[in-house]
Structure 1
Amino acid sequence: MTFCAGALANAATLNLSPLPQQEAKTQATVQLAPAQIQNVLASQQVPAPQAAVEQHGTDAEDDATPEYATLSDAVAAQEDIAALEEDRELRCLATGVYFEARSEPLSGQLAVADVILNRSTSGRFPGSVCSVVTQKGQFSFVRGGKLPTPPANAHWRRALAVAQVARKNLWESPAGDALYFHARYVNGAQGRATVATVGNHIFYR
């Protein structure tokens, strides 16, 4: 039997004076006790859309991801550079950026950092950044498997910030999935596909 909510709400206050027999029968089929009315109304309540609320919360967190207008802004936003030096993997990455690309534009420095990161996750090179940078015969600034110590100057601080931007993937690199790079004046691609040319470097895979 289907009940109208309005009729149910008023059932407890119906006139109880004697009714003709036929009318009394009709009334008897719809009268409910107040407690029964509350039970029926409660059964019609719809649970709150919990999944939708949780999804909205996730979207809000995604919206909190910082965005930068330029690569320069992303680099400038990296703070506490001294603390970054304590991270060995980041220091190795920054050392590669410094010695290979400190005179390049920021996009060129970022591209070098991404080549190193790409190698560390490719499965074709060692699996850590420091191992990639110190791999024998790969980077000319490495001597005897050891990294030189960069001077504590503005170029080094910028290299640390660029390395952090690359590792956090805060800016899209023009190097894409490149695994190699060399100076423009070197013919070292050996038939590999060129990905980009940035500053004085050619990047390829």
Structure 2
Amino acid sequence: MSRILNAASAAAVGMTATAMLLLAEPGFASDLAASANLPAITLPGADAPQRDPADATTTSEQPVVTLPQSPLSENPDSERRDEPAAEPKPALDIDSLAELVAATDRPAEIDPELRCLAGAVYFESRGESLAGQLAVAHVVINRAKSGRFPKSLCGVVHQPSQFSFVRHGKMPAIRNAAQWNNAVAIAQIARDGSWKTQAPGALFFHARYVSPGWRKTRVASIDNHIFYR
């Protein structure tokens, strides 16, 4: 019996010694992790373990997470740069309506509403002073805003039996380019409200040589026209 116990003790000691030798053998821990299908742990600063490309038995590889890079770091030229603010245009030093007309640029394309307004100025008052032309333009604008006439400038100008120069719903041809350009400038000034009219609130006017007998409030008398509201 004692011999059997001694043999068992010797076998246990031998197995312990063998296990200690195996644990001390380089590469045993990594082989053990691979055989147990466990993720490899890489300490900070250490090189990641190299895998054999031919090894297709590993199915628990940890996913590699790539953080997105800042767009500014990818393209330094895309960084926002503060651009200097545009300098405001200096205000025009205008002392008279004539100077404002001269400083007003004619648009490259005249929109229909401006054309109708300029047509009223041209055909009704091109021979009048600039103040008289401006007053005529404001009559058209005031009518469109009053609610008593058509709401558009063209509607006011082409309203039947209102402006004698409109014939069969159309305006005559323009024959004087300089006076037309002047009328366009007056129309722009009136529409923009950039110069005060001498006939504020006027909705009607007639030539001095006629007497329609209107019972309306007289607003102003400018050149050859008398204005009412």
Classify the TM-score, shorter chain: 0.5 to 0.7
Partner of 2:29: none
Larger RCO (CA within 8 A; separation ≥ 6) = 1
Aligned to 1:78: 104
By how many angstroms is 1:68 displaced? 2.1
Q: Distance in 1 between matches of 2:175 and 2:160?
A: 23
1:200 maps to 224
Higher helix share: 1
Query: Alignment partner for residue 68 of structure 1, among 91, 94, 112?
Result: 94
The answer to whether residue 152 in structure 2 is matched with residue 111 in structure 1 is: no
Equivalent pair of 1:189/1:204 in contact (CA under 8 Å): no
The size of the alignment, in residue pairs, is 142
Where does residue 155 of structure 2 map in the other structure?
Answer: 131
- Aligned residue identity for 1:76: A
Deviation at 1:86, TM superposition (A): 2.3
> Which amino acid counterpart does residue 124 of structure 2 have in structure 1?
E
1:145 equivalent to 2:172? Answer: no
Q: Which residues of structure 1 form unaligned runs of 5+? A: 1-60
Partner-residue secondary structure (3-state), 2:135: helix
Q: Within 5 A, what are the aligned runs for 1:32-71?
A: 66=92, 68-71=94-97
Q: 1 CA distance for matches of 2:104 and 2:186?
A: 8
Task: Select which of 108, 113, 138 maps to 1:89.
Answer: 113
* TM-score (ref. length: structure 1): 0.65
Corresponding residue for 1:36? none
Distance in 1, matches of 2:97 and 2:154, equals 25
How far is the alpha carbon of 1:188 from its aligned partner? Answer: 2.2
Deviations 1:80-112 (Å, cap 9, x if unpaired)?
Answer: x252x5211011000000000000000000000
Q: Please report the RMSD computed on the Cα atoms of aligned residues, expressed in angstroms.
A: 1.8
Aligned with residue 154 of structure 1, among 178, 199, 214 = 178
Poorly superposed stretches of 4+, deviation over 6 Å: none
Q: Deviations over 1:18-73 (max 9, x none)?
A: xxxxxxxxxxxxxxxxxxxxxxxxxxxxxxxxxxxxxxxxxxx8x96655211111
Query: 2:44: which partner in 1?
Result: none
Identity %: 52
TM-score normalised according to structure 2 size: 0.59
Give yes or no for contact 1:93–1:133 (8 Å, CA) kept in 2: yes
Matched, 1:98 2:122: yes
